[in-house]
Structure 1
Amino acid sequence: MNVDVLGIGILGPGLEDWPAARSILTGLMPHTVRPTVKPIPHILPNVERRRSSEAARLTIKVADDALTMSDLPRDEVATVFTSSDGDGDITDKICESMAGSPGGVSPTLFHNSVYNAPAGYWSIGTGSRRSSTSLCAFDYSFAAGLLEAAAHTTIEQEAVLLVGYDLPFPEPLRAVRNVAHSLAVAFVLAPPRYGASLMRWWIELESPRPQTGIPDAIDRAVHANPMARSFPLLSVLASGQPQSIVLDYSNEQSLVVACEA
């Protein structure tokens, strides 16, 4: 499968947007880890904005940045949302509620715990009625999301917005899932010659091979976030140089992305 990349969004610790991330990945500035900025989802109505989770706010920000770069209308692009763990803080609070005294779980917490809640908030904010898929594949979630988005783009011959995100767990869950920082990324993928392309990706499933490492420019404190597996592709986009990137897809297969400027 081959797809063009039309837009990019990123938000993470010390990674406020794509221009900042590009400067770090190309060595123009060091990566200083700071708490991830908490954006305000202006596209949401007031009621939904107040109820929205951190996961929804992060994903709306990167999705909007990527689509703005692509010049495609927000409400005319299908979406794929992918996450390994979802919102760790909400999971922790629900577990505490269930383990504590009777009283039930907050309706807002429960509503935001649904796995496709970020996709739902995006659809509400944009008025989009296009198809949307939300998936999870543990540490392989970014690769699985990329494959899903590329397949949709290839079969339907239309643009797809891929959004990946993962948020940290508080203790005691962090002891078994050591993700310390929030990270969200977004890519607008489209069939060749669909729009102004930043790069073309040729994507294939192949037999297992060593995964491409996360660039040294990215602080190791961020590497544990499953969405950090997107950084090799972001690095190639930042440099504009052709390269093949290998992502683990499972114990039995690798996803190979040949990048062409």
Structure 2
Amino acid sequence: FGAGLLDALAQVAVDGQPVLLVAYDSEYPEPLRAKRDTPDCAGVAMLLTPSPSGALGQLTVAPTTDAAEALADASLDALRQAIPAMRALPLLRHMARGQAGEAVLDYLAPMQLRAAWTPC
């Protein structure tokens, strides 16, 4: 999820156009399945725009070496760890609650992404 988020935000910044970020994972075929067993299908989508007009909030992302944020709910955290698209769950929690906050998302160790969300 982190790589797609960075790429989508870069496209918004460079092109000045909205970008639909869609991250989806399903069961992988062999031989990938032997290396990463995905327990279920899951996806997330975000429309990222350069303009705050009509937006639900503002998202900023920066690299960090802080540990990725675990979720208090063990079942949701297991999904976050097992399904790459669900690495968005800590950020989605803030969005769904309509609360400002930061979430540290998994990326490429040792680097993670600090995503700050501010609702409009």
Count of matched residue pairs: 118
SS in 1 for 2:12: helix
Measured after TM superposition, the shift of residue 233 of structure 1 is 1.3
Measured after TM superposition, the shift of residue 174 of structure 1 is 3.9
From 241, 245, 249, the equivalent of 2:99 is 241
Quick check: which has more Rg, 1 or 2?
1
The CA distance in 2 between the partners of 1:147 and 1:176, in whole Å, is: 25
Identical residues among aligned pairs (%): 36
Q: Which residue of 1 aligns with 2:55?
A: 197
- Cα pair distance change 1:184/1:170, threshold 3 Å: same
Structure with greater proportional strand content: 2
- Cα pair distance change 1:220/1:168, threshold 3 Å: farther
From 38, 58, 73, the equivalent of 1:216 is 73
Measured after TM superposition, the shift of residue 257 of structure 1 is 0.8
Q: TM-score, normalized by length of structure 2?
A: 0.84
Q: TM-score, normalized by length of structure 1?
A: 0.41
Equivalent AA in structure 2 for residue 222 of structure 1: L
- Cα pair distance change 1:152/1:177, threshold 3 Å: same
The CA distance in 2 between the partners of 1:220 and 1:175, in whole Å, is: 22
The CA distance in 2 between the partners of 1:153 and 1:179, in whole Å, is: 30
The CA distance in 2 between the partners of 1:187 and 1:233, in whole Å, is: 11
Measured after TM superposition, the shift of residue 176 of structure 1 is 3.1
Q: Which residue of 2 aligns with 1:258?
A: 116
Measured after TM superposition, the shift of residue 217 of structure 1 is 7.5
From 16, 20, 24, the equivalent of 1:165 is 24
The CA distance in 2 between the partners of 1:216 and 1:200, in whole Å, is: 26
1:56-106 Cα deviation digits (max 9, x unpaired): xxxxxxxxxxxxxxxxxxxxxxxxxxxxxxxxxxxxxxxxxxxxxxxxxxx
SS in 2 for 1:241: coil
Structure 1 gaps, min length 5: 1-141
The CA distance in 2 between the partners of 1:182 and 1:210, in whole Å, is: 25
SS in 2 for 1:248: strand
Structure with greater proportional helix content: 1
Within 5 A, what are the aligned runs for 1:68-147? 142-147=1-6
C-alpha root-mean-square deviation of aligned residues, in Å?
2.2
The CA distance in 2 between the partners of 1:212 and 1:182, in whole Å, is: 22
